[in-house]
Amino acid sequence: MTAEKLMSLTVTDLRALAERHGISGHARMRKDQLIGALLPVIAAGTSIPKNAKDTAAAKVSMPVAAGSSSSSSRPTPGPTPANQPSAAGPNPGLPIPERYGSDRLVLLMQDAHHIFAYWEITPETFARVAAKAGAHAAHVLILHTPSGPEQRDIDLRGGNYYLSVAPGATYRAEISLRSKDGVLHPLAVSNFVQTPQAGPSPRSDAQWLGIDETFHELLAMAGLPGHEPAGSLTRLQARAGESQLIRGEAGSSSGLSSTARTSSLLSKRPDG
């Protein structure tokens, strides 16, 4: 939730929100103070107005002491509804694996300026690589950027890391042990991840595409050689947007549909 969205709420709503988030002294706060206190607590979110599920969820969560979930998920074989009253506390959920026993390093784009990295290195791999790297080897994450690799010292036990990056570029990373003499001994290599442009494209050349919904249907129904015969009713129901480029030429046809459909670039319109 942004400051702007909080601004649009009444003080009463803000107080109610503050109460829900356990902000003390909210009754004495002015609107700007309430917003100031709420912003860091509500670190992110689609906003109350935009997402009423937030509110719906908040409603049921209000009586915190009672716990939000009212049943325990015991592995009793169904289908015999367990007529259980509410449990004393929230159900923590069934156990999930702590480790999966394979080496991996994964990058996920958080936003145009940040990448999240998480990893798992098995004890076997670590022992094998550590034996080569020698005692006191440093744990490093190497980020391959468009301008070359960057090394960052990390704590391998942490399991994850947020990286500051530049927009509009492709990244890959690896985790290695760096021996005393500076030699890198790789543990895991990541996927590629791309950050979006954080602003308008410098390209202003415009191409125009017309989607011809009916031509291919008519063609198919015509029963010409090389085309499946009719069955027109089901076809008409199932038809998907067949595309035909009608204006725009040459240029980057590489990105355009190259299926068996008639996609052709005919003219290119320069931007006014």
Partner 1 sequence: MPPDLAPIGHLLLLLHAHLPFVRHPEDPYFLEEQWLVEAITETYIPLLSRLEHLIQDKVHVRLTMTWSPPLCEMLADPLLQARYVQRTQRLLELAEQEVPAKAGTPFADSAVMYRDHLRYCLEVMARFGGNLVRWVRELMEAGAIEVITCTATHGFLPLMLTHEAKRAQIEIAVANYRIHFGRAPKGIWLAECGFTPGVDELLKAAGLRYFFVDTHGIYYGEPRPRYGVFAPVYTPCGVAAFGRDADSSRSVWSAESGYPGDPLYREFYRDLGYDGEYPYIRKFLHPDGVRRNLGLKYHRITGQIPLHDKAPYSPAPAYARAMEHGDHFYQQRIHQASMLGELIGRPPIIVSPYDAELFGHWWFEGPQFIESIFRAAHASNHCVMPVTGSEYLATHAVNQVVMPSASSWGDSGYNGVWLNPSNDWIYRHLNIAEERMIEVARRFSAGLATTADPSRASAPNDLRDALNQMARELLLAQSSDWAFIMTTNTTVPYAVRRTKDHLNRFTSLYDMVLGNRIDRQALRDIAWRDTIFVEIDFRVYC
Q: Which of residues 75-104 bind partner 1 (CB under 8 A)?
A: 75-79, 81-86, 90-97, 100
Contacting range for partner 1; rule: CB under 8 A; set: 9-17, 127-135, 145-153, 180-188: 9-17
Q: Which of residues 140-199 bind partner 1 (CB under 8 A)?
A: 159-160, 191, 194, 196-199
Contacting range for partner 1; rule: CB under 8 A; set: 124-132, 139-147, 175-183, 202-210: 202-210
Q: What are the Cα distances from residue 46, in Å, to 5, 53, 165?
A: 10, 10, 24
Report the nearest approach of partner 1 to the CB of residue 26 (Å). 12
> From the list 33, 110, 145, 151, which residue makes contact with partner 1 (rule: CB under 8 A)?
110
> From the list 23, 33, 120, 126, which residue makes contact with partner 1 (rule: CB under 8 A)?
120
**Enclosing H/E stretch for 193:** strand 193-194
**SS3 of 4, please?**
helix
Residue 107 or 137: the one with the smaller Cβ distance to partner 1 is 107
Q: Cα–Cα distance between 61 and 42 in angstroms, integer?
A: 15
Report the nearest approach of partner 1 to the CB of residue 225 (Å). 26
> From the list 63, 148, 225, 226, which residue makes contact with partner 1 (rule: CB under 8 A)?
63
Q: Which of residues 10-39 bind partner 1 (CB under 8 A)?
A: 10-13, 15-16, 21
Of 61, 18, 57, 11, residue with least CA distance to 41: 18
Of 120, 95, 90, residue with least CA distance to 105: 120
Of 183, 180, 144, residue with least CA distance to 165: 144
Report the nearest approach of partner 1 to the CB of residue 73 (Å). 6
55's CB contacts (< 8 A; 6+ apart) are 48
Report the nearest approach of partner 1 to the CB of residue 219 (Å). 17
Q: Does 61 help bind partner 1 (rule: CB under 8 A)?
A: yes
Report the nearest approach of partner 1 to the CB of residue 177 (Å). 21
Report the nearest approach of partner 1 to the CB of residue 139 (Å). 18
Q: How many CA atoms lie within 13 A of 132 on its CB side?
A: 14
117 and 146 in contact (C-beta within 8 Å)?
no
Q: Does 233 help bind partner 1 (rule: CB under 8 A)?
A: no
Q: Which of residues 129-148 bind partner 1 (CB under 8 A)?
A: none
Q: Does 270 help bind partner 1 (rule: CB under 8 A)?
A: no
142 and 184 in contact (C-beta within 8 Å)?
yes
189 and 174 in contact (C-beta within 8 Å)?
yes
Of 158, 146, 152, residue with least CA distance to 175: 152
